[in-house]
Amino acid sequence: MRVLGIDPGLTRCGFGVVDGAPGHSPQLVAVDVVRTDAGTEIAYRLLRLEHAFEDWITEHRPDVVAVERVFAQHNVQTVMGTAQAAGVAMLVAARHQLPVALHTPSEVKAAITGSGRADKAQVGQMVTRILRLDVTPKPADAADALALAICHVWRGSASDRITRATAASAEQAARQRRAYALARQQLPAPGAPA
């Protein structure tokens, strides 16, 4: 499975792609940070991010996009920019008919380090170790994006299978309802001559 991890941010947005499967060591495909100028109008900053998301999805062809779930912070301005960037990432993924998984920061930290309270340095060190890198990806947004992708490979693949199975079951039930309705239409009305 190939996962594109997105650490959303309006000023710095982390992108990380890994290949992996549960029980196997994930492999680094690509990592980077896209920056937008704080002096530019927000709409154009979001447009810049939209182009970057398109480029990454087109180039790396992920199976799923894992985005950090936005949570309330003390700085409302920061959380708004983060939420807007996350929304654009989800929109682009939907345009490409890719499933989107949202993971909380503490869920990602727990998956990567074993502690939901790990700091950014600990997450970076573990990402470096897990992916067998020579150096920790910088800035922290890059390491966080890879951590999201790794977390999804390890934890999200089971929920992906459940989602697909549920969808398949719902489709099968819908087919059965359509077949039943069609069969009822073909039966003669009660009291009608056969």
CB 50 within 8 A of CB 8: no
Catalytic residue, chosen from 50, 54, 63, 68, is 68
Q: Comparing C-alpha atoms, which of 13, 35, 18 is closest to residue 151?
A: 18
Residue 7 is among the residues annotated as catalytic for this protein: yes
Residue 141 is among the residues annotated as catalytic for this protein: yes
Residue 54 is among the residues annotated as catalytic for this protein: no
CA distances from 140 to 5, 24, 42, 69 (A): 13, 24, 23, 17
Catalytic residue, chosen from 37, 134, 141, 144, is 141
Catalytic residue, chosen from 7, 50, 134, 144, is 7
Q: Comparing C-alpha atoms, which of 97, 137, 104, 107 is closest to residue 17?
A: 137
**Annotated binding-site residue? 141:** yes
Active site residues: 7, 68, 141
Give the annotated binding-site residues: 7, 68, 141
Binding residues for Mg(2+), as ranges, are: 7, 68, 141
